[in-house]
Amino acid sequence: AQATLLDPYNLTHAHIESVFGEILAHDADYADLYFQYSRSEGWSLEEGRVKSGSFNIDQGVGVRVVSGEKTAFAYSDDIGAESLLAAAKATRSIARAHAAGSAGNVAKTVHKDGRSLYVPTDPVSSFSDGDKVRILERLEGFCRAIDPRVKEVMGRLSGEYEVILVARHDGTTAAD
């Protein structure tokens, strides 16, 4: 997650801690940052030909701040340090500043090994475009071989790869 979401934008855990410092300088009870990167792809085959293909990349960071019964959200599709700080500042409207502008306590990032439930395989880049077309062609051939009455085969191959990193103001981070 760090290689996908933080490193390309030269973001360090110190940057994240400074964002929480900005948030906690106000009367906030809880704050977290939700980084996300998603890449998806789809191919469709109809009448023996690839009829369409799509490719999409989405990424961004969300900021959530809770103060008493109020919650503020901000989002940026740019993960850079300036945009992250601007999103954090946008959440300040729900809280009043501490006296004399004193900052809240920001914990250092805590690294704990999580439980790995599956291998981090990217299905979108696991196969070449030619391999993906051949999978659809094999599907069509299989369907037509089952019964000669099959007149039309439509197939779709889709894949999505998503990386998520959540950082909390208490220093806890989790990634998937």
Q: Where are the alpha helices (DSSP H) in 10-66?
A: 13-24
pLDDT tens digits for range 149-173: 998 999 999 999 999 999 999 988 8
CB 66 within 8 A of CB 28: yes
Q: What is the pLDDT along the chain (176 residues), one digit of tens a residue?
A: 999 999 999 999 899 999 998 888 887 889 999 999 999 999 999 988 888 889 999 999 999 999 888 889 999 999 999 999 999 988 877 765 443 344 455 556 566 666 777 777 788 888 899 999 999 999 999 999 999 899 899 999 999 999 999 999 998 888 98
Residue among 112, 89, 77 at smallest CA distance from 20 = 89
Antiparallel, parallel or unpaired: β 154-168 and 70-76: unpaired
Dihedral of CA atoms 84, 87, 88, 91 in degrees, nearest 10, equals: -170
Q: Where are the alpha helices (DSSP H) in 32-147?
A: 81-90, 129-146
Q: Which residues contact 39 (CB under 8 A, 6 or more apart)?
A: 55, 56, 57, 58, 122, 124, 160, 161, 162
CB 9 within 8 A of CB 35: no
